[in-house]
Amino acid sequence: MREMNIDEQLENFLAGLGVEMEYNSQESQYNDDASIPEVSIFQASRDHYGVFYRLDIIGSMPQLRVMVPVEHGPVKMEMYLVRISSRLLLNPWFSGLVSYQGSPAFEKGREAALQHLLYAVAEMMKQLFWSGDLSSMSFPPEIDVCRVL
């Protein structure tokens, strides 16, 4: 039996509530149903009440999901998928760190290094996300954002 990724888990949860996920073409380029995160971190926002973040490295690229409480809708939540724009050239850092076959000492510290790199990039992604405008879906060009819920 295959382990479900976070998107499949969310879709199953919402299906139980009678909600069907809709995917647009931009979002589908971000979701690979067969992918399981290499690293996943879940955290509550320190700066925005009720907001939660899911940080993932999927396909050797960082992803940030921002879960925002709202007053409308059956789920009372919106979710946004944030990715780093390719113009920043940060994604190769992750793929290089994941694919590099190093010494035993390097291999022992790889996951911790990936987590630290993900934390650092995620802090930048959060800052850029919150400097954007959710109502118009207008964000700085260094990130790509799509609403997934």
The per-residue pLDDT for range 27-47, each reduced to its tens digit, is: 444 454 446 777 788 899 999
Strands 52-58 and 39-44: antiparallel
Confidence of residue 75 (pLDDT cuts 50, 70, 90): confident
Q: Measured between alpha carbons, how far is 66 from 78 in angstroms, rounded to an integer?
A: 8
Paired strand residues for 65: 54, 81
3-state secondary structure of 93: helix
The predicted structure's pLDDT at residue 34: 46
The per-residue pLDDT for range 1-37, each reduced to its tens digit, is: 556 666 666 677 767 766 666 654 444 444 544 467 7
* pTM recorded for the entire structure: 0.73
The predicted structure's pLDDT at residue 58: 87
**CA 146 to chain CA mean position, Å:** 11
